[in-house]
Amino acid sequence: MEKLNIMIVGVGGQGTLLASRVLGNVAMKIDKDVKVSEVHGMAQRGGSVVTYVKMGEKVYSPIIDKGEADIIISFEELEALRWIDYLKSDGTLILNEQKIDPMPVIIGKAKYPGGIVEKIKNNYKNVVTIDALNIAKQCGNIKAVNTVLLGLLAKSTSIDKEIWIESLKENVPPKAINVNLKAFNEGYSN
Amino acid sequence: MSLTEFKILNTIMGDVLMKKLMLGNEAVARGAFEAGVTVAAAYPGTPSTEITENIAKYDEIFSEWSPNEKVALEVAVGASIAGARSICAMKHVGLNVAADPLFTASYTGVNGGLVIMVADDQGMHSSQNEQDSRCYARGAKIPMLEPSDSQECKDFVKEAFSISEKYDTPVIVRISTRISHSQSVVEMSERIEYNLKDYVKNPAKYVMMPAMARKRHVEVEKRMAELKKFSNTDQFNKIEWGNKEIGVITSGIAYQYAREVFGDASYLKLGMVHPLPDKLIKEFASQVKTLYIIEELEPYIEDYAKTLGIKAIGKEKLPVVGEYSANLIKERLFDKKVESKPVTDEEIPIRPPVMCPGCPHRGMYYVLKKLKLTVTGDIGCYTLGALPPTQSMDTCVCMGASIGTAHGMEKARGEDFRKKTVAILGDSTFIHSGITGLIDVVYNKGNSTVIILDNSITGMTGHQHNPTTGFTIKGEPAKQVDLEKLCNAVGIDRVRIADPFDLKEFEKVVKEETQADEPSVIISQRPCALLKSVKYEGPLKINPDKCKNCKMCLSVGCPAIVDKGDHVEVNEALCVGCTLCTKVCNFDAFEKVGE
């Protein structure tokens, strides 16, 4: 693995920050240089959020530009559509099949686009979809969506599973670890 | 972690513990810790907040949330004069608030080292403007360092204390959103045991009145001349020689973008941006064929280079607006556009930030919108009330501005207009600089109605304590400002407390207070729904047999209630069960999920 650019996109409040921190930690464990760029503050309040994770021998800019992402993990369908330009043509999209209506849709000023998955699949061949919300529910905590997706991501990289689990344990509060491990494994074996 | 714990762990784990992935902000905190800082003060503000949150984790450092940035800097100045190493932190607009002590602390200089952290917000991810703090360094004649990743954040902050003491000056360290909120690898070292410097009375240095200040100004100029010599050394300003066909002068986060654009070119990386190194810049410029200056916001370095007679490509092609990326630089300089085949022709709906489900502000906005009031606003989560669906805020300028603005409107347009106007601001914002506006209203015979949104926390910046919450930054119990008594004390006789989720009562109170012929304050009291202590009973759903699709519930503007055209739905994953919607539903159609 020379360079790996991963974007995590979703809606503020979905737990994208935890996912990026686990990822950053994984990069450290495999001795890569890494930068993780997060969004805090106003944009977090239910807005569109994006986190960049870049790893390699030497990372300069913390930002991933259009057409540079090897993997995009999208926590929400519309957000996948918004950021898909950032994926390399042979990159992988990991898509949680969850829809959260943005305010313009809620108040009837815009329409939530239909057939998002099909549209993306027309241009990109590596698209993996998962109902992480449902899996998280079954694992016992609706908030474990992020860990389900991390499990799925872990499987699509060449990084050892144990490293992911170690990193997860270091970033999740002790009382939530069992639910999260379960969620991670569900995602991994999906 | 205490120093002892750190040492023990360090011995056990060897080099492993010495490296950690850190946000720039966390690395700043680490730098302050390692430098032996014992006093830290700040007011929260994105993107600077986590600096002081992380400092507060060190038991060796007294840290505080001050009421505002001016006080924070004054506390740090006091600690420095008393002989300690001290630090204060703020966002770029916070430096405006602290500008008064800043310009004079430049004259007094320091005793223990004093570092001022300022975090700019290029691109305005969470700010009301994108001013360039480098202009303050020049204006206040204070040296400024600019790190470009987390490791440099830690190293530069640590070094800044030595510079501060050596040159008898405060030092500003400027970072920005992409530095503050990017994590990169940091190598840690141990804390320096710093002994308090002696405190000796020295009015000629620390009492700034004309006779003394005139002498100090001369000292400031001498110091800056010395610092210019220092800037020309290679401690912070480094030439990285590569291909000499292209030379790039850059600093901070822009350096990282430049490295991706220009590859093996030559770089003059400026870690000290005030004073700028004239000799180094000339030497570098003379040895490269084409010179680029890459900096976000103002042409600060470029203008200086021009005064040295140096020609460079910079702002003639690159914007002074917004933040850069490697792609943006490539596009503007070399016309290289990244082409991608769009997935869809339809417009992708925007997703602006919204007030959270369960947000107490939503009840208040429902009432203000219904009463069609003019609303002078302020800085906080409630600023989101300016956006659809509430769209109820008329103005927002800066922290604390709502009250003065309402007062000015009243004086300009008279009583009838005033009776249809309210000022709204949060509890923390009120303490920050709203209280002075309220005193002005009382003193200058205004009749404004002010609504203080008391949600028991500083919300937007991510839940910090403030003087009204009853806890310190370290979570220790503290005296709590009694907002009601405070308002009474400045001369407000009409202070009402109302629950914004009791819509009928809240509306009645707002009507009565706006009609009153004297100034009044309404304390809108309900805690932030994200606080752990707030427990609502879980999501609601709509019973389709009862719902008449009248869409009244949409009027509260909750992101969890969705208009599906022929029916309305609750998004159960978002709903917290605050039940505000049930208060506007005439058909009792909302039910708890599972019942």
Residue B372: what pLDDT?
97
Q: Residue A44 above 80 pLDDT?
A: no
Residue B2 has pLDDT above 70, yes or no: no
The predicted-structure confidence for B95-135, as pLDDT tens digits, reads as follows: 999 999 999 999 999 999 999 999 999 999 889 999 999 99
Q: Given a cut of 70, is residue B328 above it in pLDDT?
A: yes
Binary contact (A39, B338; C-beta < 8 A): no
Q: How many CB atoms lie within 10 A of CB B537?
A: 11
**Which of B182, B340, B351 would you mutate first to test chain A, the one with the most A CBs within 10 A?**
B351
The fold of the A3-188 domain, in CATH, is Pyruvate-ferredoxin Oxidoreductase; domain 3 (3.40.920)
Q: Indicate yes or no: CB of A106 within 8 angstroms of CB of B561.
A: yes
Its pTM stands at 0.95
- Tens digits of per-residue pLDDT, B434-480? 999 999 999 999 999 999 999 999 988 989 999 999 999 999 999 99
pLDDT value at residue B14: 46
Can you give the pLDDT at residue B3?
Answer: 47
Higher pLDDT, B343 or B51: B51
Across the interface, of B19, B183, B327, the residue whose CB is closest to A66 is: B327
Locate the domains of chain B by residue range: 3-231, 237-334, 361-525, 540-592
Provide the CATH topology of domain B237-334: Rossmann fold (3.40.50)
Q: Look at B351 and A133 and tell me if their CB atoms are within 8 Å.
A: no
Sheet holding B520-525, edge to edge: B374-376, B421-426, B449-454, B520-525, B494-498
User: Rounded to whole angstroms, how far apart are CA atoms B95 and A62?
Assistant: 26
Q: Do A36 and B462 touch (CB under 8 A)?
A: no
ipTM at complex level: 0.94
Identity of the residue in B259, B343, B563 whose CB atom sits nearest the CB atom of A119:
B343
Residue of B nearest to A24 (CA): B21
- Chain B hits for A107, CB-CB cut-off 8 Å, are 388-389, 554, 557, 563
Weakest mean pLDDT among A37-51, A139-153, B63-77, B533-547: A37-51
Write the pLDDT tens digit of every residue in A156-182: 888 999 999 999 999 999 999 999 999
Select from B184, B338, B343 the Cβ nearest to the Cβ of A84: B343
In the predicted model, is pLDDT for residue B338 greater than 90? Answer: no
**pLDDT exceeds 50 at position B66:** yes
Per-residue confidence (pLDDT) for residue B594, from 0 to 100:
80
| Same CATH fold assignment for domains B237-334 and B540-592 | no
**CB pair distance less than 8 Å for A36 and B21:** yes
- A86-141 pLDDT, tens digit per residue, is 999 999 999 999 999 999 998 888 999 999 999 999 999 999 999 999 999 999 98
Q: Indicate yes or no: CB of A63 within 8 angstroms of CB of B178.
A: yes
Q: List the structure tokens of B97.
A: 């608030």
Say yes or no: A1 contacts chain B, CB-CB below 8 A: no
Q: Among 3.30.70.20, 3.90.1170.40, 3.30.300.30, 3.40.50.970, name the CATH number for the domain at B540-592.
A: 3.30.70.20
Sign of the C-alpha dihedral computed for residues B172, B178, B183 and B185 taken in this order: negative
Distance, in Å, from the CA atom of B207 to the CA atom of A175, rounded to the nearest integer, reads: 55
A40 touching B, CB under 8 A? yes
Across chain A, mean pLDDT equals: 92
Output B10 or A146, whichever has higher pLDDT: A146
Burial label, B209 (beta-carbon count in 10 A; 0-12, 13-18, 19+): exposed
**Tell me, what's the pLDDT at B9?**
52
Q: Do A113 and B344 touch (CB under 8 A)?
A: yes
pLDDT band at A43 (very low <50, low <70, confident <90, very high): low
Find the mean pLDDT for residues B203-208. Answer: 98
Residues of A in contact with B561 (CB under 8 A): 106
Closest CB to B348: pick one of A11, A21, A113: A113
Is residue B404 over pLDDT 50? yes
CATH architecture of B3-231: 3-Layer(aba) Sandwich (3.40)
Give B116's Cβ-side CA count (13 Å radius): 38
Query: What one-character DSSP code corresponds to residue B411?
Result: H
Most A CBs within 10 A among B26, B183, B336, hence the mutation to make, goes to B183
Q: Using an 8 Å CB-CB cutoff, list chain B residues near A51.
A: none
B171-176/B144-145 β-pairing: parallel
Nearest CA in chain B to A47: B353
Does B33 reach chain A within 8 Å, measured CB to CB? no
Residue B12, pLDDT score: 52
A·B CB contacts under 8 A: 178
Return the pLDDT at B224: 98
Q: Contact A59/B184, CB-based, under 8 Å?
A: yes
Cα A190 off chain centre by? 16
Cα first-last separation, chain B: 48
For residue A107, the model assigns a pLDDT of 84
Nearest C-alpha in B relative to A99:
B571
Question: What per-residue confidence (pLDDT) applies to B153?
Answer: 98
CATH 3.30.930.10 is the classification of domain B361-525: no
The mean pLDDT value for B243-267 works out to 98
pLDDT value at position A157?
87
Whether residue B125 and residue A46 make contact (CB cut-off 8 A), yes or no, is no
Q: pLDDT band for position B498 (50/70/90)?
A: very high
Tokens, residue A54: 């870049």
In chain A, what percentage of residues exceed pLDDT 90?
79
CA distance B460 to chain A (A): 6
Query: Taking each helix axis from N to C terminus, what angle separates B252-262 and B326-334, rounded to the nearest 10 degrees?
Result: 60
Cα separation of B523 and B262, whole Å? 56
Distance from CA of B23 to the nearest CA of A (A): 8
Q: Regarding beta strands B114-120 and B86-91, do their DSSP bridges make them parallel or antiparallel, or are they unpaired?
A: parallel
**Contact criterion met (CB below 8 Å) for A34 and A59:** yes
pLDDT of residue B16: 44
Residue numbers in B near A176 (CB within 8 A): none
- Six token digits for residue B25: 């902000």
User: Quick check: B559 and A107 CB within 8 A?
Assistant: no
pLDDT(B11) > 60: no
